[in-house]
Homo-oligomer: A and B are copies of this chain.
């Protein structure tokens, strides 16, 4: 029976006379005075395998080794395998395009993405997706505890809710459909259907032409929708609790991964203390900060404002998370619930200088929605499918979405959101 690298120290302490078998990749080979040290890498970590002859193994060969576990202070993890036999399971068929062990910065993003089966063997690169898996698990677990139901909705839609300049078109039998930009209509439908509280983790699509470190054309949207709320404040409280849980779980489960990035997740308290700043005030804060460093006035919550507001929040409230609230009506879709004639019950969450969430209360009243549609100059006929959801009794509700890759990026301090996507899609990249 195979045992994992991480379990060798225990085996060495408890049953040093019992032969064990390990399997994994050759991470590194070193010879020293007639003895060969093969560092084997499996999903649990690294293990030193000691051989009394040169095994003639090139890096990244998959091997199986049998032998006795032995304590050795100098070996990684404090133990090693004294090998009796090493078998080659799978040999690289050609020269590696780059060295797996190197510093990710020196491999470069394009090469990392071109060769995922290779680049993810680098522990630092793999760490990103161990953290991402925790984020997804914690998100789901927290919401289930709050009585949310996980849903799976269609990603093929007849049309976009808000018309469609940023939609990808799909040939669907004899007609055209589009890749969904968000599951929002479906979330709302399911709140109205009596599920009341729903969440979904699924791909979402934006046909934006930007190619920047903050954009992906396909991303994992972690969506939430909740009925019987009074305002967006309940949604922000939910997100504070949700992020507090995610931060806690990442700190607890991914200490090793965080250490590789020399970073820490925020504390639970930081998430819970995140301030909420109305839009106008946020612009003022950002403009003052920009002015203090010689910049001009800021007229929008743009990337610069996002950075400045997070710096402000860190300084004033000791947290990397800040909500901007009360966005003007002209900046939000027609279905956003009005606070007054000019402002809406909506918010963004900014984390470490980047917007990770957009959310808000939605209009649930059928007559008011019809009015908003006409006020925004939209065509009620093309929105008939959307409007029908609110026709037969719908509670006040709202929701938000957290960008999974952006949250991963910012938790680890990655330069580009593309690093936080296993197989990112941008204007140029559709492979692998």
Q: Which residues of A contact B (CB under 8 A)?
A: 2, 23-26, 41-43, 60-62, 89-94, 96, 115-121, 126, 129-130, 132-133, 136-137, 140, 144, 147, 149-158, 168-173, 175, 177, 179, 185-186, 189-190, 192-197, 201-203, 207, 209, 217-218, 220, 228, 364-367, 385, 388-396, 404, 421-425, 427, 430-432
Contacts and interface: CB of A to CB of B under 8 A. Distances in A.
Contacts of A171: 168-171
A139 to B, nearest CB: 11
B126 A195 contact: yes
Contact of A92 (B90, B94, B115, B392): B392
29 contacts: A25-B393, A42-B196, A43-B147, A43-B195, A60-B393, A90-B396, A115-B388, A117-B192, A117-B392, A117-B394, A119-B193, A126-B194, A133-B149, A133-B150, A133-B151, A137-B150, A152-B203, A152-B220, A152-B404, A154-B422, A158-B430, A170-B179, A171-B171, A172-B430, A173-B427, A177-B430, A186-B422, A190-B422, A385-B431
A194 B149 contact: no
A169 B364 CA distance: 36
Contacts of A150: 133, 136-137
A366 to B, nearest CB: 4
Contacts of A26: 393
B175 A422 contact: no
A347 to B, nearest CB: 22
Contacts of A209: 173
A121 B194 contact: yes
A2 to B, nearest CB: 6
Contact of A43 (B116, B197, B422): B197
Nearest to A186: B423
Contacts of A177: 430
A36 B115 CA distance: 69
A144 B432 CA distance: 26
Q: Which 10 A-B pairs have the closest CB atoms?
A: A120-B193, A43-B196, A154-B423, A117-B192, A60-B393, A93-B366, A92-B392, A169-B171, A133-B150, A117-B189
